[in-house]
């Protein structure tokens, strides 16, 4: 258990380098890292919960780390999301919201249709999806996720920036009350 907590801290502190996106307060003292996949319905269900946490906690930074948990469909969707992050922020945000709003696992054709709807530059998106840095991000995220000896998503880690103490880790869909309690604890803890 101690090893997993130490690994969670290492994963936590390297999180922003491999983020699909960062939401909330980019300088927030409390950070929530979510390992997720757009092909995962449980991850999509958590989106409104995370959004509400961001609205209620002005000192919260949220880092989304996508992992290709479902093989080829995940690689396509997650690569598209990471490539979309290279385009104008507003268009990326629309694309991200459209993906999270899907009730079914998005197919590659649906991902492309959503990219069009978000007014992303499709030739650039398709080119950028094959950039080695996208593949490296997916591999690193999956490796960090697996290092935590877990095989369920969403996986959420909450901690204080610069903390020396172990952080909170949660697996699967969670009620907002549980995550808010963890955030409150992190805000009141001192190193």
Residues 75 and 173: their CA atoms lie apart, in Å, by 22
Q: In the chain, which residue ranges form alpha helices assigned H by DSSP? A: 2-13, 41-56, 72-84, 89-100, 108-117, 122-128, 132-147, 176-188
Question: Could you give the CA distance from residue 47 to residue 50 in angstroms, rounded to a whole number?
Answer: 5
| pLDDT at residue 21, rounded to an integer | 77
Would you state the pLDDT for residue 15?
59
Q: pLDDT digit string (tens) for 32-58? A: 989 999 999 999 999 999 999 999 999
In DSSP terms, which residues pair with 61 in a beta bridge? Answer: 24, 31
Q: Residue 118 contacts by C-beta under 8 Å, 6 or more apart in sequence?
A: 84, 91, 92, 94, 95, 98
User: Does the pLDDT value for residue 6 go beyond 50?
Assistant: no
State the Rg of the chain over Cα: 16
Q: Tell me which of 129 and 6 has the higher pLDDT.
A: 129
**pLDDT at 190 (0 to 100):** 59
Which domains does the chain carry?
Answer: 2-188 (3.40.30.10)
The Cα-based distances of 39 to 92, 146, 169 in angstroms read: 18, 18, 22
pLDDT, tens digit, 9 for 90 and up, residues 7-35: 454 455 555 666 777 888 988 889 898 99
Quickly count: other Cβ atoms within 10 Å of residue 177's Cβ: 8
pLDDT tens by residue, 110-164: 999 999 999 999 999 999 999 999 999 999 888 888 888 778 999 998 888 766 5
- Classify residue 33 by its DSSP letter: E
pLDDT value for 169: 86
Q: In the prediction, which pLDDT does 2 show?
A: 41
Q: What is the pLDDT of residues 179-189, one digit of tens each?
A: 999 999 888 87
pLDDT score, position 144: 84
The pLDDT tens digits of the residues spanning 74-91 come to 999 999 999 999 999 999
Please give the structure tokens belonging to residue 152.
């369920």
Q: What is the pLDDT of residue 141?
A: 87
Q: In this structure, what DSSP letter does residue 160 have?
A: E
Q: Which two tokens stand for residue 120?
A: 């992303």
- Whole-number pLDDT of residue 54: 94
How many other C-beta atoms lie within 10 A of the C-beta of residue 92? 19
With beta carbons less than 8 A apart as the criterion, state whether 107 and 72 touch.
no
pLDDT at 3 over 90: no
* pLDDT value for 16: 60
């Amino acid at each position: 258990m101690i090893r997993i907590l130490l690994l969670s801290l290492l994963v936590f502190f390297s999180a922003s380098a491999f983020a699909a996106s960062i939401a909330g307060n980019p300088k927030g003292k409390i950070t929530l890292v979510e390992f997720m996949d757009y092909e995962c319905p449980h991850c999509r269900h958590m989106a409104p919960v995370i959004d509400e946490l961001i609205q209620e906690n002005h000192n919260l930074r949220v880092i989304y780390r996508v992992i290709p948990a479902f093989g080829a469909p995940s690689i396509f969707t997650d690569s598209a999301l990471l490539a979309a992050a290279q385009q104008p922020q507003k268009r990326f945000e629309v694309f991200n919201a459209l993906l999270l709003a899907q009730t079914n696992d998005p197919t590659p054709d649906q991902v492309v249709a959503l990219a069009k709807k978000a007014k992303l530059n499709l030739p650039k998106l398709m080119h950028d999806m094959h950039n080695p840095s996208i593949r490296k991000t997916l591999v690193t995220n999956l490796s960090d996720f697996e290092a935590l000896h877990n095989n369920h998503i969403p996986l959420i880690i909450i901690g204080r920036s610069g903390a020396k103490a172990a952080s909170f880790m949660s697996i699967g869909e969670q009620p907002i009350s549980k995550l808010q309690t963890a955030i409150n604890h992190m805000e009141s803890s001192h190193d």
